[in-house]
Structure 1
């Protein structure tokens, strides 16, 4: 892991996670997201994060209806309103925007993805992350979901350089259960792991906070988890509780179930202090087990190759 002063973060940055209540009207969802992103930016945040599926209801029945074609870049404005809304939110507020996720349709393959679009302060697209691990789970009598019935998985680890601050890694929801992505990102110098996610009332109560703390402890970097607000009138009930954790897994900010904006300042000193006090990076036994970041890691998705820099 990178640990020299100035190599993880170039300067401190304030981050905001926007916990949104979204409905069935996509246009209304986009307008509401824009108003909340502007509010977060007005509070001084330079990185703003939206939740998973912020522009639509969450569920396999909704993904095809709400999916937008993003490729080839740039997309057609009338066909990809969420893309252009996110770009405008970033440029109008002079922020880095991690755009939660939206259902994406690839017109050439007809595949549908759960996709996060990341934009810079000038409104330019910086990277695309498609959810790597699909939520196919059955806990009898409690929760059952098969995203793979509708969605296809992405094929790359996404680490995004924010030039003024450093690198962040992106995962979506179920991706957090797979520690390999986080380990790779930390060893490649990321200062934060950002997960838009929509855990449900069963898995949220069990593992949402636990997994966030585990990824922070394992990798000694910041973790942000951004959930939709809970809507008991919808078909899917999100856990809520968006949170920001420091490299020691201490809670810096936490929402409850309803709409909220939570924020915190991230700085390199806290990462360095944590790694001095508990020096995992010098104690790892790569002579006994391999370093996953040195394996055959895919940082490019063949389907996205040449479309956007990562």
Structure 2
């Protein structure tokens, strides 16, 4: 049994303040007996004003929030699944990058969000992530974490089953889906899709989320979730408040589900 901590946060436009929130969450997580902390998408800064945000987006090695996560990991002994940061990429574009920080402060895995959030919602919200961010192209997993083999995804990736098919084929024990979901899409699909992905991959889903009213004027849905491989929600942090929640990841539950319903073993390739 592995205890994890999940940070639900209301990130602002100042990386320093967000770094302090992350650090305190790690301390709180360690005090609560966790071995890993998971944080949301854009833990470092949530700012829809890209001109303003550009002043704070730096290369990975210069990022103060990553530095804070590394220091917190070393001090607390936690693994930290840093949901994502906006970092300088190649050719002047940015990357929406998830990083797994080991207890010695080293980077155990990096994943750049593959699917860009380019949508026009009925609420009037319009988002064009691809205008500033370069999409990733690699499926990423990390072995030998406290939750076993961990698959990395970010937010809008949730809607693309092929990525989770690939993670299922790699026999991930858990999949991180950090997010900053909008309220309309969250109300419609958040719980449904998180539970579906857990069932499809026969894996735990850990979805740390942004919540509430942000400095840049947006609202996010919250409801950070932990879902077991049978699709049962074992943690739902609600849609109102930021904070740290805890859940216990039981590998015996994974083995039991895969024995009862061996969909991964039964899967066959289908020709196009």
| TMscore range, shorter length | over 0.9
- Deviation for aligned residue 1:64: 2.4
Aligned to 1:303: none
Count of equivalent residues:
270
Instruction: Give the unaligned 5+ runs of structure 1.
Output: 1-11, 291-310
Measure how far apart 1:90 and its partner are.
1.1
8 Å contact from structure 1 (residues 63, 112) kept in 2: no
Distance in structure 1 (CA, Å) of the matches to 2:58 and 2:215: 25
Distance verdict in 2 for CA 1:80–1:255, change over 3 Å = same
Matched, 1:26 2:9: no
What corresponds to 1:37 in structure 2? 26
**Superposition pairs for residues 96-111 of structure 1, below 5 Å?**
96-106=79-89, 109-111=91-93
Partner residue of 2:54?
64
For residues 133-186 of structure 1, the C-alpha deviation after alignment (integer angstroms, 9 at most, x for no partner) is 100011244421111111111121110123555210010100111112222122
**What's the CA shift for 1:233?**
5.6
CA distance 1:244–1:123, shift in 2 (3 Å): same
The answer on whether the counterparts of 1:136 and 1:147 sit within 8 Å (CA) in structure 2 is yes
State yes or no: 1:86 paired with 2:69. yes
**1:165/1:50 Cα in 2 relative to 1: closer, same or farther (>3 Å)?**
closer
Gap change, CA 1:140 and 1:281, over 3 Å in 2: closer
Alpha carbons of structure 1 residues 186 and 282: separation in structure 2 relative to 1, 3 Å: closer
1:284 aligned residue (256, 267, 272)? 267
Stretches (4+) displaced over 6 A: none
1:209 pairs with one of 191, 194, 199: 191
- Is contact 1:64–1:103 with CA below 8 Å preserved after alignment? no
Output aligned runs, 1:284-303, within 5 Å.
284-286=267-269, 288-289=270-271
CA contact (8 A) 2:113 2:154 kept: yes
* Cα pair distance change 1:216/1:27, threshold 3 Å: same
Cα offset, 1:60, TM superposition: 5.8
1:245 aligned residue: 227
Query: 1:253 touches 1:264 (CA, 8 Å); kept in 2?
Result: yes
Whole-angstrom distance in 1 between the partners of 2:44 and 2:214:
18
Question: Counterpart of 1:27 in 2: which secondary structure?
Answer: helix
Confirm or deny: 8 A CA contact 1:60 1:147 kept in the other structure: no
What pairs with 1:137-148 in structure 2 (closer than 5 Å)? Answer: 137-148=119-130
Partner residue in 2 for 1:50: 39
Q: Which runs of 5+ in 2 are unaligned?
A: none
Larger Rg: 1 or 2? 1
1:260 to 1:269, Cα distance in 2 relative to 1, 3 A: same
CA distance in 2, matches of 1:202, 1:280: 32
> 1:34: how far off?
0.5
Cα distance between partner residues in 2 of 1:243 and 1:282: 27
What are the residue-to-residue correspondences of 1:127-142 with 2, within 5 Å? 127-142=109-124
Classify 1:284/1:141 alpha carbon distance in 2 versus 1 (closer, same or farther; 3 Å): same
